[in-house]
């Protein structure tokens, strides 16, 4: 695995951990802020994960079809370019359900690369 892919995967794991901590505060907390600060934070995390996925080499992406790379990038594109129609319940579902799966996949790739 290239050094760049290693860095991107490590950043994906870190961001997933941040999103998981945010989700651990609960859905009521997530929707209770009048300014939507939790939703905007979650949105930013998802966008940053998508940016790191986009930086991965084609070799890593093709070699790991079990990871929904294209779905991650599409979610990033929707959030970054269509913010007037953001569905913050979908953002919640992403951070509370999907991020742990993405984290597990990224961490597994890193472990394989390091021989663990």
Instruction: Name the pTM for this structure.
Output: 0.91
The yes-or-no verdict on residue 6 having pLDDT over 90 is yes
Give the helix/strand (H/E) hosting 75.
helix 69-81
Q: What is the mean pLDDT of residues 49-78?
A: 92
To the nearest whole number, what is the mean pLDDT of the chain?
A: 92
For residue 25, count other CB atoms closer than 10 A to its CB: 11
Domain boundaries defined on the chain: 3-114
What the block records as the tokens of 7 is 């860095």
């Amino acid at each position: 695995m290239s050094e760049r892919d290693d860095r991107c995967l490590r950043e994906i794991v870190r961001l997933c951990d941040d999103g998981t901590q945010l989700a651990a505060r609960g859905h009521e907390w997530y929707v209770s802020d009048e300014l939507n600060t939790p939703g905007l934070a979650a949105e930013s995390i998802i966008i940053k994960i998508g940016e790191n996925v986009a930086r991965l080499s084609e070799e890593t992406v093709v070699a790991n079809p079990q990871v929904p790379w294209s779905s991650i990038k599409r979610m990033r594109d929707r959030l970054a370019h269509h913010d007037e129609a953001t569905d913050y319940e979908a953002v919640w579902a992403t951070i509370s359900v999907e991020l742990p799966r993405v984290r597990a996949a990224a961490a597994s790739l890193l472990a394989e690369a390091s021989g663990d």
